[in-house]
A and B are shown apart, each in its own frame.
Chain A
Amino acid sequence: MTAITSTEGSGPVARTAGAASRRPTATAGPAIEVAGLRKKFGRVAAVGDVSFTVSYGRITGFLGPNGAGKTTTLRMILGLIRPDAGTAVIAGKPYAKLANPARTVGALLDAAAAHPGRSGRDHLRVLAAQAGIHGLRAGQLLERVGLADAARQRAGRYSLGMRQRLGLAGALLGDPEVLVLDEPGNGLDPQGIRWLRDLLRSLAAEGRAVLVSSHVLAEVAQTVDDVVVISRGQTITQAPLGELLAARPGSTLEDIYLELTGTTEGEPS
């Protein structure tokens, strides 16, 4: 695979310092490499041409208006949706070829993805058993995401923020080196947002790659190292956040985003 973006060799960033300790040498390439992905649903082109890379030890923000193709792209990376063209590899392999996917990649795509009649703890225990992970880890993770008190409560009674935390626990189940999170901040209160930011930073500091989509640009600006912007199914830009901001002195990430996506109104959702 050849490098396809301009960020290769774009200079060291302080936060990558501790990264090498965790990253296995066998996966020294990009954590995620997406090249020329395309997907149509019927006659609607959901993704037209998306390419970017995600590096270990960094948080990559995946931004774009509603309907830009973010979720479809994330699902293609994870092998849930079959692309019409293009490739997506994680640690050098297509998702379906990963030897132990749950231990390589953790994903949160939809906070509501739990049976409402099952407790949060049982939800995680089912996933752990399927992935061959010891059930005790379910309890540890519920503690880590702040759900220990609600572990035995039915997931149907959880608030949106609690379901996000449960989804994050599910993503962390296999102690993965790559995380793919679709709007994980949805429904979190300010304490939750702060907690999530710290969590993502600590995960990246451990050398893991984090790809996170979001609409909350002020939050993204405080959290991410790299930015990928897509619009109408196409990659508009990929660059380190610092570089983007330095190139337009006085602009905020929001200004730059709105300029790049070509609208101050946003796409209708």
Chain B
Amino acid sequence: MIGLLRGETLRLATTRTYWMLAVGALALIAAGTSAAAATSFTPGTSPARATLAIAGLAQTVALLAGALSVTSEFRHKTITPAVLITPGRTPLLVARLITMAAAGLAFGLAATGMAAAITLPVLAARHIPAGISGTQAAAIIVGGGVATALAAALGVGAGAIIRNQVGAIVTVLALLYVAEPLLGFIPHAGPAVQRYGLGGLAAAATHTTGFPATAQLLGQGAAVLVLAAYTAGVLLAGAALLRHRDITT
């Protein structure tokens, strides 16, 4: 397993795609939080929590990166040499899961920490109360790290299920940005989707505001647990499929 983890770390470090995704996302989050903190103010909610929700982009990017880490192996056919070295296949997925989740944790902490470091001073300069305590700010940053780690792990599982790169990316984005927001408008069922959908869980896990901002979210701990349960389920399904499917590319 140590060799596999070393290989995975090297793979991650030598693939420019992940670095470009991370740098691009951090730049977008910096620009978004700067603009929001400097101009907007959402009545009825904490301006800091609403602004820091922008750092949730880190989770979407981590989810995509996790999926890419598996689908690109099928796209570029490197799954064949990888599985030849690790015929059991499951240890390969476990090593990838650990590596991507660790990278997701670091990336999530950096993204949310940076967003807080921009938002709080800007709000203070505008004499707008942030509406969160120092402990709550810490909970938001730690929650951002944990949620992003889970998102990366979820992506790894999703990529193992949907091996086609375009298919995996389109499915993930459609679920996050089309299906969940639309289902949230269904009477009666809507609030449950807002609460237990990935968007609502990520918002609750990071202690920020969901979509819509009035959505009734779970507590931070409960949201992390539910998100972890989803992730475990998707990973187990992905591992079973990876073990049983023929590798023809």
CB distance from B174 to the nearest CB of A (A): 26
Given contacts A129-B10, A131-B3, whether A113 and B246 have CB atoms under 8 Å apart is no
B84 contacts A126, CB within 8 Å?
no
CB pair A113–B77 under 8 Å, yes or no, is: yes
Classify the secondary structure of B's interface with A: helix
Look across to chain B and name the residue whose beta carbon is closest to the beta carbon of A109.
B80
Contact A110 B15 (CB under 8 A): no
Contacts known (A118-B14, A122-B14, A126-B14); A113 close to B80, Cβ less than 8 A: yes
Report which A residues bind B (CB closer than 8 A): 72, 75, 78-82, 95-96, 98, 101-102, 105, 107, 109-110, 112-119, 122-123, 125-132, 170
Q: Return the chain B residue nearest A118 by Cβ.
A: B14
Q: Is A79 within 8 A of B87, CB to CB?
A: yes
Contact B14 A130 (CB under 8 A): no
Closest to A119 in B: B14
Q: Does B28 contact A (CB under 8 A)?
A: no
| Interface pair A102/B14, CB less than 8 Å apart | no
Q: A130-B7, A131-B3 are in contact. Are A115 and B84 (CB under 8 A)?
A: no
Q: How large is the interface on B (under 10, 10 to 19, 20 to 34, 35 or more residues)?
A: 20 to 34
A-B contact count (CB 8 A): 88
Query: Is the pair A114, B78 in contact by a Cβ cutoff of 8 Å?
Result: yes
Q: Which residues of B are interface residues toward A (Cβ below 8 A)? A: 3-4, 6-8, 10-11, 14-17, 72, 76-78, 80-88, 92, 244, 246-249
Q: Which residues of A contact B11 (CB under 8 A)?
A: 118, 126
In the bound assembly, the distance between CA atoms of A82 and B89 in angstroms comes to: 14
Q: Are B76 and A113 in contact (CB under 8 A)?
A: yes
Contact A75 to B14, CB < 8 A, known contacts A112-B76, A113-B76, A129-B6: no
Task: List residues of chain B with CB within 8 A of the CB of A113.
Answer: 76-78, 80-81
Task: Give the CA-CA distance A117 to B14 in the complex, in Å.
Answer: 8
Residue of B16, B76, B247, B249 contacting most chain A CB atoms (<10 Å): B76
| With known contacts A81-B247, A126-B7, A129-B3, A105–B84 Cβ distance under 8 A | yes
Q: Is the CB of B7 within 8 A of A115?
A: no
- The answer, among A98, A116, A117, A170, for a CB contact under 8 Å with B87, is A98
Across-interface contacts of A127 in B (CB, < 8 A): 7, 81-82, 85
Give B92 Cβ to nearest chain A Cβ, in Å.
Answer: 8
